[in-house]
Amino acid sequence: MRIAVVALGKIGLPLAVQFAGSGHDVIGVDVNPDLVAAINAGREPFPGEADLGERLASALAAGRLRATTDYAEAIPDADAVVVVVPLFVNEQTAEPEFGWMDEATKSLAQHLSPGTLVSYETTLPVGITRGRWKPMIEKISGLVEGEDFHVVFSPERVYSGRIFADLRKYPKLVGALSERGAKCAVEFYESVLQFDERPDLPRANGVWDLGSAEAAEMAKLAETTYRDVNIGLANQFALFAGANGIDVHRVIDACNSQVFSHIHRPGIAVGGHCIPVYPKLYLSTDPDASIVRTARELNESMPERLIAQAAAMLGSFEGLHAVVLGASYRGGVKETAFSGVFPTVAALEARGAKVSVHDPLYDDEELRKLGLAPYTLGDDVDIAVLHTDHAAYRELTPAELPGIRLLVDGRAVTDAERWAGTPRLVVGASV
């Protein structure tokens, strides 16, 4: 097949490489000329994605993959077009902003050939595939969906750093607007993906047709919103436990020893491209989902809540030097999308502290570009807030933070014995 992938970001490029590795001719289109040039030159643009460099080199050497900035080069005569353009959420209104996706859809529609399958993998609010993309493509292309071309929704379900493994591990969900479209989508994904055996699943691992685009859209939102609500519940338990002399981590371990309990872990922040965003996409079409809204609000409040607890223990932060340990939104990943580092820094600065940030994955200049003052382990500090559960921080000792008067462990990963004699505030543990 000839396959076009629209947007060659951290999901799109691995997908393009996966499709090429399955024996198909792939052309990726992206508006960033520097990214396109790097890909065509075989330079891995996203370090840290397992096997991407090797697979990219192999696809290029086989002549199965190339990149372009020109939709007119990528879209015509494609058997399938896979769209993974980012969708953003307005921070003030919490409403989805479709600007980039609209432009990409208009551009592909201008060059669409009859017989093409168009699959959207970007997470969407329920109803957008049918209500927004179908009429937009029809109007611009002059083609009729369900007859001349097919539009489906098939959400990406992968985790940064292990995308190729996840493509094999999890069923590929598809939802179409017609029976013919569903058949085309199933055949397409069965030809570009390979799946691990999963005896734990209720049906064989592979491509699962959910019956409609709306069902597939909801499935992606539901599985991610579940995690946010679960973390919100864990954080609620942690706040209560900490205020009442209870170690919530022992409580959670005890609860999860029973098969029906799957409580997640509390923490100072929920970051990344998915969990902080997708509940808001769900709320955009289900405003009565009060449980979802409450969990999101609680999770967003955690940096302020922990810093307020720290202030109550230590007193005024005015003039003190505070360091936030970790800029990344999660351990081992060099990414700050919706990272809790920013509200944590803001909460400390609002109380008069001078704040700097340390992260083993970022150099000083990279931190400065993020608007963060860099910190070097070994420099004097008054208070440290562990934000990211990088493996290196599990071995941290007070000697690396000379002068420290309080450690706020927002991930409950530091060793109590190593910190004996230094005041610690651990999320979910008694103060």
Tell me which residues are annotated as active site: 220, 274
Query: CA 86 to CA 124: how far, in whole Å?
Result: 10
Contact predicate 71/112, CB 8 Å: no
CB-based burial, 9-23: b 16+ in 10 Å, e otherwise: bbbbbbbbbbbbbee
Q: Which two tokens stand for residue 107?
A: 């551009």
C-alpha pair distances (Å), 319 with each of 65, 355, 403: 55, 10, 14
Query: CA 248 to CA 337: how far, in whole Å?
Result: 28
Query: CA 94 to CA 376: how far, in whole Å?
Result: 36
Instruction: Report which residue type is found at 422.
Output: T
Q: Tokens 């994904």 appear where?
A: 189
Q: Read out DSSP for 260-308? A: T-------S---SSSTTTHHHHHHHH-TT-HHHHHHHHHHHHHHHHHHH
If phi > 0 it is left, if psi is from -120 to 50 it is alpha, else beta; for residue 51 that is: left
Q: Tokens 């077009």 appear where?
A: 81
Instruction: Report which residue type is found at 134.
Output: K
* Helices vs strands, H then E, count in the chain: 15, 15
C-alpha pair distances (Å), 246 with each of 136, 249, 403: 55, 9, 29
Contact predicate 121/82, CB 8 Å: yes
Longest dimension (CA), the chain: 73
